[in-house]
Amino acid sequence: MALVTCVPRVVTGPGSKLPKVLFAVLCYHRTVELLAAVSLSLVGSGSGVLIASPLLLLKPETRLQLVPGLVSYAVGTLLAVSLLELVPQALDSLSAHTVLSMLLTGILGFFMFEKLVLWRHCHTSDCTAHDVSAPIVLLGGSLHNFTDGAIVGAAALTSLPLGVNTALAVAAHQIPQEVSDYAILLNAGYSRTRALLMNALSASTCVGGALAVYATSGWLPAALPFVLAFAAGSFLYVAMSDLIPGLHHDSIEVSAVSQLVLIVAGVGTIASL
């Protein structure tokens, strides 16, 4: 869809100047499109933060009891979002070889990012490697929210009803994702206020995605599948490198069944949306 800019222009033929009334109508139309794209992207990504935020109101003792289960749920949602949502969407536009190459790039890229985090934070004796899952999830979440914003923005620019439906779908799968992110942040030692603020900042990148697709709609769709595949690699790395090993710290006899049930529940939640 061609973007119409709100600037005066000269056209050929009779009445070479664009009439002021038509110019005003075009500007109003473009402003409405922009507001719709940004607003719906915020609805899609921001709803997960708002609905999941009551977790921060729980007492520390209650959170400590819930976090291990929520981390298990996070594993399921991260794996499902990566393999059932992001990768198939990327495969719609790219070859399997290209998608898997970008996924591998995402895994290796986040491995290097983790090594940098460890290098910066583990030069003291009291740090833990598991804490790096928090910044990786936030960065991966920012990429995911950026692409969500771009998808919702593109849908809103195509038609408002399509934009609304897409925003609702994004919000539906963001809610369990944000609950998982809160669990990871709290498990990494973040305070309730910091976890809420960081998740809100991560979700705010959806606005950048909507603005990018609004300004460069001819270029962004070609790059979007690459971003999706890269983001899938980041979520796979977090789930399989940081979170799953942490689940083995509990007693297998006591918690293995409940962990598996919650992982399957996370997969089922994403698969059903």
pLDDT digits (tens, 9 = 90+) for 168-186: 777 766 776 677 777 778 7
DSSP assigned state of 191: -
- Name residue 103's amino acid: L
pLDDT in tens, 193-210: 888 899 899 899 999 988
pLDDT in tens, 44-97: 888 878 877 776 677 767 766 776 787 788 888 889 888 988 888 889 889 999
> Is residue 26 pLDDT above 70, yes or no?
no
CA-based nearest residue to 43, from 193, 197, 140, 156? 156
Q: What CA–CA distance (Å, rounded) separates 189 from 187?
A: 5
DSSP assigned state of 190: -
DSSP symbols for 2-66: PPPPSS--B-SSSS-BPPHHHHHHHHHHHHHHHHHHHHHHHHHHHHHHHHHGGGGGS-HHHHHHH
Assess contact for 46 and 167: CB atoms under 8 A: no
pLDDT of residue 6: 53
pTM for the whole structure: 0.61
Element (H, E) at 273: none
For residue 116, what are its two tokens?
């940098």
Q: Which residue has the higher pLDDT, 20 or 247?
A: 247
